[in-house]
Amino acid sequence: MSATVVTLEELARNLARPSALVGLDLGTKTIGVAVSDVTWRFSTPLTVIKRVKFSVDAAALLTLCAERQAGALILGLPLNMDGSEGPRAQATRAFQRSLSQLTPLPIAFQDERLSTHEAERALIERDMSRKKRAAVIDAHAAAVILQGALDRLAVLRQTGGNNS
């Protein structure tokens, strides 16, 4: 059982719908999780998983994927502002390689630059306290990441998955 890393273009062309997509904001201490609706229009923050060790983290993620009948995972890729990959991006790719050994779900990467900043700004606009924001920020960042992928997939579906 091994997942395939796919591009969003491949996902738009090949993934059978209806199925939810699960978005992940992978941090060193937590994993923010968001889920889409089956029409791939809306992203919703779901939960924050406190990281323990890979096997425990992966089991929690895969349980959520099964409960939501996920068709694919969208993993935020923390690129540097100049688009290059640093140590955090490499750690994310290593996580993906390990997770791929445990699930047949396709995994696509989505640029996550400024996703936490955007999520925090939205929570501040809702007048959420700093303490409450800290508890949910990673799930909201995952929702921002997933929404970016959903928006891209919408464009790709309109063009047959061939738009670059």
d(CA 147, CA 96): 20
d(CA 53, CA 149): 27
**pLDDT for the residue numbered 16:** 73
CA dihedral 51→53→54→57, nearest 10 degrees, is -40
Q: What Cα–Cα distance (Å) separates residue 92 from each residue in 24, 31, 112, 145, 159?
A: 10, 11, 11, 14, 30
Selected residue with higher pLDDT from 83 and 7: 7
- What's at 124, amino acid-wise? I
pLDDT of residue 163 exceeding 60, the answer is: no
Sign of CA dihedral 18, 34, 72, 56: negative
Which CATH number is associated with domain 5-158?
A: 3.30.420.140
Packing angle of the helix pair 130-158, 115-125 (nearest 10 deg): 120
pLDDT of residue 123 exceeding 80, the answer is: no
d(CA 140, CA 49): 13
pLDDT of residue 162 exceeding 60, the answer is: no
**pLDDT for the residue numbered 131:** 67
3-state helix, strand, coil in the chain (%, to 5): 45, 25, 30
- pLDDT tens for 69-99 read 999 999 999 887 787 888 889 999 999 999 9
**pLDDT for the residue numbered 56:** 96
- pLDDT tens for 10-55 read 988 888 768 999 999 998 899 999 999 999 999 999 999 999 999 9
Task: Report the pLDDT averaged over residues 134-141.
Answer: 74
d(CA 3, CA 34): 20
d(CA 3, CA 99): 8
Boundaries of every domain in the chain: 5-158
**pLDDT for the residue numbered 135:** 56
- What's at 59, amino acid-wise? A
| pTM of the predicted structure, to 2 decimals | 0.86
**pLDDT for the residue numbered 86:** 84
